[in-house]
Structure 1
Amino acid sequence: MNEYIHKVKYYECDRMGITHHSNYIRIMEEARVDMLDRLGYGFEKMEAEGVVSPVMEVKCQYRKPTTFQDEIRVEIHLKAVSVFKFTYGYIGRKGDDIVFTGESTHCLTENGRPLKLRERYPKLFVTD
Protein backbone atom coordinates (compact mmCIF):
# COMPACT_ATOMS: atom_id res chain seq x y z
CA MET A 1 0.00 0.00 0.00
CA ASN A 2 1.14 3.50 -0.82
CA GLU A 3 0.03 6.79 0.68
CA TYR A 4 -0.43 10.24 -0.79
CA ILE A 5 -1.42 13.47 1.00
CA HIS A 6 -3.65 16.06 -0.70
CA LYS A 7 -4.46 19.41 0.90
CA VAL A 8 -7.83 20.75 -0.31
CA LYS A 9 -7.46 24.02 -2.21
CA TYR A 10 -9.99 26.85 -2.04
CA TYR A 11 -10.83 26.53 -5.75
CA GLU A 12 -11.72 22.85 -5.24
CA CYS A 13 -14.68 23.80 -3.04
CA ASP A 14 -18.22 24.53 -4.20
CA ARG A 15 -20.64 27.26 -3.04
CA MET A 16 -21.51 25.15 0.00
CA GLY A 17 -17.86 25.24 1.09
CA ILE A 18 -17.24 21.53 0.56
CA THR A 19 -14.87 19.83 -1.86
CA HIS A 20 -16.65 19.44 -5.19
CA HIS A 21 -17.22 15.78 -6.03
CA SER A 22 -15.30 15.98 -9.32
CA ASN A 23 -12.06 16.69 -7.48
CA TYR A 24 -11.93 13.28 -5.81
CA ILE A 25 -11.33 11.62 -9.19
CA ARG A 26 -8.43 14.01 -9.78
CA ILE A 27 -7.07 13.32 -6.29
CA MET A 28 -7.11 9.57 -7.02
CA GLU A 29 -5.16 10.26 -10.23
CA GLU A 30 -2.63 12.36 -8.30
CA ALA A 31 -2.16 9.47 -5.87
CA ARG A 32 -1.68 6.98 -8.72
CA VAL A 33 0.87 9.16 -10.53
CA ASP A 34 2.76 9.75 -7.28
CA MET A 35 2.84 6.01 -6.54
CA LEU A 36 4.11 5.16 -10.03
CA ASP A 37 6.85 7.81 -9.72
CA ARG A 38 7.99 6.34 -6.40
CA LEU A 39 8.03 2.82 -7.91
CA GLY A 40 10.25 4.03 -10.76
CA TYR A 41 7.52 3.70 -13.41
CA GLY A 42 6.61 7.37 -13.85
CA PHE A 43 4.81 8.62 -16.93
CA GLU A 44 7.97 10.20 -18.34
CA LYS A 45 9.73 6.82 -18.33
CA MET A 46 6.80 4.88 -19.76
CA GLU A 47 5.98 7.45 -22.41
CA ALA A 48 9.66 7.56 -23.44
CA GLU A 49 9.25 3.81 -24.07
CA GLY A 50 6.12 4.50 -26.15
CA VAL A 51 3.73 3.20 -23.47
CA VAL A 52 0.57 5.00 -22.32
CA SER A 53 -1.97 4.06 -19.66
CA PRO A 54 -5.56 4.94 -20.54
CA VAL A 55 -8.29 4.92 -17.91
CA MET A 56 -10.94 2.30 -18.67
CA GLU A 57 -13.25 2.86 -15.69
CA VAL A 58 -13.38 4.95 -12.54
CA LYS A 59 -15.67 4.75 -9.50
CA CYS A 60 -15.93 6.88 -6.38
CA GLN A 61 -18.12 6.61 -3.32
CA TYR A 62 -18.39 9.76 -1.23
CA ARG A 63 -18.62 9.09 2.50
CA LYS A 64 -18.00 12.40 4.32
CA PRO A 65 -17.36 15.94 3.09
CA THR A 66 -14.03 17.72 3.20
CA THR A 67 -13.43 21.46 3.15
CA PHE A 68 -10.76 24.04 2.37
CA GLN A 69 -7.33 23.15 3.79
CA ASP A 70 -8.36 19.68 4.99
CA GLU A 71 -5.65 17.09 4.49
CA ILE A 72 -6.85 13.97 2.74
CA ARG A 73 -4.60 10.93 3.18
CA VAL A 74 -5.11 8.65 0.19
CA GLU A 75 -4.16 4.99 0.50
CA ILE A 76 -3.71 3.27 -2.87
CA HIS A 77 -3.24 -0.42 -3.53
CA LEU A 78 -3.27 -2.80 -6.47
CA LYS A 79 -6.67 -4.48 -6.27
CA ALA A 80 -6.74 -6.75 -9.33
CA VAL A 81 -4.63 -7.67 -12.35
CA SER A 82 -5.61 -9.58 -15.47
CA VAL A 83 -3.67 -10.17 -18.67
CA PHE A 84 -4.40 -6.72 -20.10
CA LYS A 85 -5.85 -4.56 -17.33
CA PHE A 86 -5.33 -3.64 -13.70
CA THR A 87 -7.40 -1.98 -11.00
CA TYR A 88 -6.25 0.23 -8.15
CA GLY A 89 -8.28 0.72 -4.98
CA TYR A 90 -8.28 4.00 -3.06
CA ILE A 91 -9.31 4.97 0.46
CA GLY A 92 -9.32 8.68 1.32
CA ARG A 93 -9.20 9.62 4.99
CA LYS A 94 -9.36 12.83 7.00
CA GLY A 95 -7.96 11.84 10.36
CA ASP A 96 -9.62 8.53 11.22
CA ASP A 97 -12.70 9.20 9.06
CA ILE A 98 -13.05 7.67 5.62
CA VAL A 99 -14.15 10.47 3.26
CA PHE A 100 -14.17 8.46 0.02
CA THR A 101 -13.38 5.08 -1.48
CA GLY A 102 -12.73 4.47 -5.14
CA GLU A 103 -11.34 2.33 -7.92
CA SER A 104 -9.72 3.01 -11.26
CA THR A 105 -9.12 0.45 -13.99
CA HIS A 106 -6.38 0.93 -16.58
CA CYS A 107 -4.50 -0.85 -19.29
CA LEU A 108 -1.15 -0.22 -20.95
CA THR A 109 -0.86 0.29 -24.68
CA GLU A 110 1.98 0.71 -27.13
CA ASN A 111 1.19 2.07 -30.59
CA GLY A 112 -2.50 1.64 -29.77
CA ARG A 113 -2.16 -2.05 -28.95
CA PRO A 114 -2.68 -3.50 -25.46
CA LEU A 115 0.37 -4.87 -23.66
CA LYS A 116 0.50 -8.07 -21.69
CA LEU A 117 1.25 -6.59 -18.30
CA ARG A 118 3.30 -9.27 -16.61
CA GLU A 119 5.48 -9.78 -19.67
CA ARG A 120 6.36 -6.09 -20.04
CA TYR A 121 6.42 -4.90 -16.39
CA PRO A 122 6.54 -7.97 -14.11
CA LYS A 123 7.65 -6.10 -10.94
CA LEU A 124 4.87 -3.54 -11.22
CA PHE A 125 2.04 -6.06 -11.11
CA VAL A 126 2.99 -8.39 -8.28
CA THR A 127 -0.11 -8.97 -6.13
CA ASP A 128 1.30 -11.28 -3.42
Structure 2
Amino acid sequence: MAFRRDPKTPAMTTDLPQHVFRLRVRYDECDPMGLVHHSNYLRYFEIGRTEFLRSSGGRYREVEEAGLYVVVVHIDCRYRASARYDDEIDIVTRIAKITAAKIIHEYEIRRGDEVLVQATVTLAVIDKTGRLQRVPEALLT
Protein backbone atom coordinates (compact mmCIF):
# COMPACT_ATOMS: atom_id res chain seq x y z
CA MET A 1 0.00 0.00 0.00
CA ALA A 2 1.79 3.13 -1.20
CA PHE A 3 0.71 6.74 -0.82
CA ARG A 4 1.19 9.39 -3.45
CA ARG A 5 2.29 12.88 -2.46
CA ASP A 6 0.22 15.57 -4.13
CA PRO A 7 2.66 18.31 -5.22
CA LYS A 8 -0.02 21.03 -4.82
CA THR A 9 -0.69 20.36 -1.15
CA PRO A 10 1.17 19.00 1.86
CA ALA A 11 -1.59 16.42 2.28
CA MET A 12 -1.10 12.92 0.99
CA THR A 13 -3.77 11.26 -1.10
CA THR A 14 -4.62 7.60 -1.54
CA ASP A 15 -6.92 5.49 -3.65
CA LEU A 16 -8.55 4.35 -0.40
CA PRO A 17 -6.83 1.09 0.45
CA GLN A 18 -9.02 -0.87 2.81
CA HIS A 19 -8.94 -3.75 5.23
CA VAL A 20 -11.81 -5.98 6.38
CA PHE A 21 -11.76 -7.72 9.75
CA ARG A 22 -14.54 -10.12 10.74
CA LEU A 23 -15.69 -10.22 14.34
CA ARG A 24 -18.45 -12.04 16.20
CA VAL A 25 -20.36 -9.82 18.63
CA ARG A 26 -19.77 -10.99 22.18
CA TYR A 27 -22.36 -11.02 24.96
CA ASP A 28 -20.54 -8.46 27.13
CA GLU A 29 -20.65 -5.89 24.28
CA CYS A 30 -24.45 -5.80 24.36
CA ASP A 31 -27.05 -4.01 26.43
CA PRO A 32 -29.92 -5.88 28.15
CA MET A 33 -31.86 -5.87 24.84
CA GLY A 34 -29.09 -7.85 23.12
CA LEU A 35 -28.01 -4.87 20.99
CA VAL A 36 -24.39 -3.74 20.75
CA HIS A 37 -23.98 -0.75 23.06
CA HIS A 38 -23.09 2.33 20.99
CA SER A 39 -19.78 2.85 22.82
CA ASN A 40 -18.47 -0.50 21.61
CA TYR A 41 -18.40 0.67 18.01
CA LEU A 42 -15.51 2.94 18.98
CA ARG A 43 -13.69 -0.18 20.21
CA TYR A 44 -14.46 -1.88 16.88
CA PHE A 45 -12.89 1.06 15.02
CA GLU A 46 -9.73 0.65 17.12
CA ILE A 47 -9.67 -3.07 16.33
CA GLY A 48 -10.08 -2.32 12.62
CA ARG A 49 -7.33 0.31 12.66
CA THR A 50 -4.90 -1.93 14.54
CA GLU A 51 -5.57 -4.96 12.33
CA PHE A 52 -5.21 -2.81 9.19
CA LEU A 53 -1.79 -1.63 10.36
CA ARG A 54 -0.78 -5.17 11.37
CA SER A 55 -1.84 -6.56 7.97
CA SER A 56 0.55 -4.16 6.27
CA GLY A 57 3.45 -5.16 8.51
CA GLY A 58 3.24 -2.29 10.98
CA ARG A 59 2.72 -2.21 14.73
CA TYR A 60 1.70 0.60 17.04
CA ARG A 61 4.15 -0.77 19.60
CA GLU A 62 7.09 0.27 17.37
CA VAL A 63 5.72 3.80 17.05
CA GLU A 64 5.30 4.03 20.84
CA GLU A 65 8.81 2.67 21.41
CA ALA A 66 10.02 5.64 19.31
CA GLY A 67 8.30 7.96 21.79
CA LEU A 68 5.29 8.77 19.62
CA TYR A 69 1.60 8.18 20.25
CA VAL A 70 -1.33 8.09 17.86
CA VAL A 71 -4.36 9.70 19.51
CA VAL A 72 -7.97 10.22 18.47
CA VAL A 73 -8.80 13.92 18.05
CA HIS A 74 -12.18 13.73 16.29
CA ILE A 75 -14.91 11.17 15.65
CA ASP A 76 -17.93 11.57 13.40
CA CYS A 77 -20.21 8.55 13.68
CA ARG A 78 -23.58 7.70 12.14
CA TYR A 79 -25.54 4.79 13.57
CA ARG A 80 -27.91 3.27 10.99
CA ALA A 81 -28.89 -0.06 12.55
CA SER A 82 -27.83 -2.18 15.50
CA ALA A 83 -25.64 -5.22 15.58
CA ARG A 84 -26.87 -7.93 17.93
CA TYR A 85 -25.34 -10.54 20.15
CA ASP A 86 -23.68 -13.34 18.13
CA ASP A 87 -23.86 -11.45 14.80
CA GLU A 88 -20.85 -11.77 12.54
CA ILE A 89 -19.86 -8.26 11.55
CA ASP A 90 -17.20 -6.89 9.25
CA ILE A 91 -15.13 -3.89 10.30
CA VAL A 92 -14.15 -2.15 7.07
CA THR A 93 -11.31 0.35 7.56
CA ARG A 94 -10.06 2.75 4.89
CA ILE A 95 -7.36 5.39 4.97
CA ALA A 96 -9.06 8.48 3.58
CA LYS A 97 -6.25 11.01 3.97
CA ILE A 98 -2.87 11.56 5.55
CA THR A 99 -1.48 15.02 6.20
CA ALA A 100 1.81 15.95 7.82
CA ALA A 101 0.39 15.38 11.31
CA LYS A 102 -2.98 13.63 10.90
CA ILE A 103 -4.38 10.36 9.66
CA ILE A 104 -8.05 10.17 8.72
CA HIS A 105 -9.75 6.79 8.61
CA GLU A 106 -13.21 5.93 7.34
CA TYR A 107 -15.10 2.96 8.76
CA GLU A 108 -18.12 0.87 8.01
CA ILE A 109 -19.48 -1.79 10.29
CA ARG A 110 -21.43 -4.27 8.16
CA ARG A 111 -23.58 -7.31 8.77
CA GLY A 112 -23.47 -9.01 5.39
CA ASP A 113 -24.36 -6.32 2.86
CA GLU A 114 -26.12 -4.12 5.43
CA VAL A 115 -24.20 -1.06 6.61
CA LEU A 116 -24.83 -0.67 10.35
CA VAL A 117 -22.46 2.16 11.24
CA GLN A 118 -20.38 4.66 9.27
CA ALA A 119 -17.67 6.80 10.83
CA THR A 120 -14.71 9.03 10.20
CA VAL A 121 -11.95 9.16 12.80
CA THR A 122 -9.13 11.70 12.80
CA LEU A 123 -5.90 10.74 14.53
CA ALA A 124 -2.95 12.94 15.42
CA VAL A 125 0.60 11.97 16.29
CA ILE A 126 2.05 13.42 19.50
CA ASP A 127 5.18 12.95 21.57
CA LYS A 128 5.36 12.14 25.30
CA THR A 129 4.79 15.80 26.20
CA GLY A 130 1.65 16.02 24.05
CA ARG A 131 3.24 18.11 21.30
CA LEU A 132 2.06 17.50 17.76
CA GLN A 133 4.52 15.54 15.58
CA ARG A 134 4.80 14.54 11.94
CA VAL A 135 3.28 11.21 10.96
CA PRO A 136 6.25 8.78 11.08
CA GLU A 137 7.31 6.86 7.98
CA ALA A 138 6.38 3.60 9.75
CA LEU A 139 2.72 4.63 9.42
CA LEU A 140 3.03 5.81 5.81
CA THR A 141 4.24 2.63 4.16
Pair in the same fold by TM > 0.5:
yes
TM range (shorter): 0.7 to 0.9
- Compute the displacement of 1:41 (Å): 2.3
Does structure 1 residue 23 correspond to structure 2 residue 59?
no
- Match of residue 116 from structure 1: 134
Q: What's the TM-score once normalised by structure 2's chain length?
A: 0.80
> Counterpart of 2:23 in 1: which secondary structure?
strand
Q: Distance in 2 between matches of 1:110 and 1:18?
A: 38
Q: Per-residue displacement from partner, 1:20-41 (whole Å, max 9, x unpaired)?
A: 1111111011111111122222
Q: Per-residue displacement from partner, 1:1-50 (whole Å, max 9, x unpaired)?
A: 11111210111111222111111111011111111122222121111111
> Counterpart of 1:93 in 2: which secondary structure?
strand
Q: Distance in 1 between matches of 2:100 and 2:56?
A: 21
Q: Distance in 1 between matches of 2:47 and 2:84?
A: 18
Say how many residue pairs are matched.
Answer: 123
> Counterpart of 2:48 in 1: which secondary structure?
helix
Identity of aligned residues (%): 28
Provide structure 2 residue ranges, at least 5 long, that are not aligned to the other structure: 1-17
- Match of residue 77 from structure 2: 60
Q: Distance in 1 between matches of 2:26 and 2:98?
A: 33
- Compute the displacement of 1:113 (Å): 2.6
Provide structure 1 residue ranges, at least 5 long, that are not aligned to the other structure: none
- Compute the displacement of 1:65 (Å): 1.3
Matching residue within 27, 30, 33 for 1:10: 27
Q: What's the TM-score once normalised by structure 1's chain length?
A: 0.87
> Counterpart of 2:123 in 1: which secondary structure?
strand
Q: Distance in 2 between matches of 1:44 and 1:86?
A: 17
Q: Distance in 2 between matches of 1:101 and 1:92?
A: 7
Structure with the largest fraction of helix? 1
Q: Distance in 2 between matches of 1:22 and 1:124?
A: 26
Q: Kindly report the root-mean-square deviation, in angstroms, between the aligned alpha carbons of the 2 structures.
A: 1.6
Q: In structure 1, give the amino acid aligned to 2:133.
A: L
